[in-house]
Amino acid sequence: MPRLLSLSLLPGLAGLLLLGGCAGAVHRLPQVDSGQLGLAQSEVQAQAGAPTRRSVSDDEVMETVTKAIARIKPAATQVCHEMNAGVCTWTFRLSSDRSLNASARPNGLIVVNRGIVEYAQSEDEVAMVIAHEIGHQAANHLVTSQRNQAVGALVGAVLLGALGVAASSAANDRSGVLARQGVQSGATAGAAVGRISYSKEQEREADYIAALILYRSGMDLDKARSFLLTMARASGRRETGMLDTHPAGPERLAAWDRAVAEVRATNGRLPQRS
């Protein structure tokens, strides 16, 4: 059946997307080796237990987010214009959501949840989260992700549609049904693969851009790193799976350390284009 075949063909679909015009990061990102990943996994494991949520007033939340934006916005705007790839005019919205999250939305909108401030121990940590979402906007990740899904749906529909047609030759009475099922299942599976195939790479790039923005803003990159450890403790994931849209906490920590080392070594220069 096409629905079952779609799962077994996920790796093949991911490979075909490379030929179909899908894209991930704008820049060449430093790679993390097994030793660096192992150190990060040990660090996260040593920090057992869920992170602590602070009690903060509405005024403190607003003040912290406003100050963080003011400190990083000049450097962020400069980095975005140098990249010349995405959206460089942003609107910031504070949400009452207490989850440990923020998001980049269409048309330059960046939403920061109240929970970010409740879990953060410094303004540098809050600035890192906001800079990460700016990184998504500056690298045009939202548009790229939509294009990847569209390409994936097309490739999947063609691939599994062809399998459905082939299967129908042995079952003429159900030929139309099998062909339609193949196209529909292929489009669904292909869109999913298109969405996840490059999203982890985009998350790493957004972290790299965040490190670059914080460095140019004079923020403390070591303090900012603490929030990645907090998120790793909150998620509980230790390894990045094939179907994950975000790198697991240890991998993200290790990639951050590599990005920070490169940013400092180049004195805040953008990496090469991919």
pLDDT at 172: 56
Residue 18: predicted pLDDT: 46
Q: Per-residue pLDDT tens for 59-83?
A: 999 999 999 999 999 999 999 999 9
Per-residue pLDDT tens digits for 198-228 = 588 899 999 999 999 999 999 999 999 999 9
List 118, 203, 207, 257, catalytic entry: 207
Identified catalytic residue from 125, 133, 205, 257: 133
Residue 113 scores a pLDDT above 50: yes
Does the annotation count 118 as an active-site position? Answer: no
- What pLDDT does 7 receive? 44
**pLDDT on residue 102:** 94
Residue 75's SS3 state is helix
Alpha helices in 84-219 (DSSP H): 114-119, 123-138, 141-168, 175-196, 199-217
Full domain range(s) for residue 223? 1-274
- Using alpha carbons, select from 83, 85, 74 the residue that is nearest to residue 216: 74
Provide the token pair at 183.
Answer: 């196209």
Residue 263, token pair as written in the block: 């940013």
Q: Are the C-beta atoms of residues 90 and 108 closer than 8 Å to each other? A: yes
Lowest mean per-residue pLDDT among 5-9, 53-57, 97-101? 5-9
Count of structural domains within the chain: 1
User: Is residue 133 flagged as an active site residue?
Assistant: yes
Per-residue model confidence (pLDDT) at position 236: 74
- Rounded CA-CA distance 182/167 in Å is 10
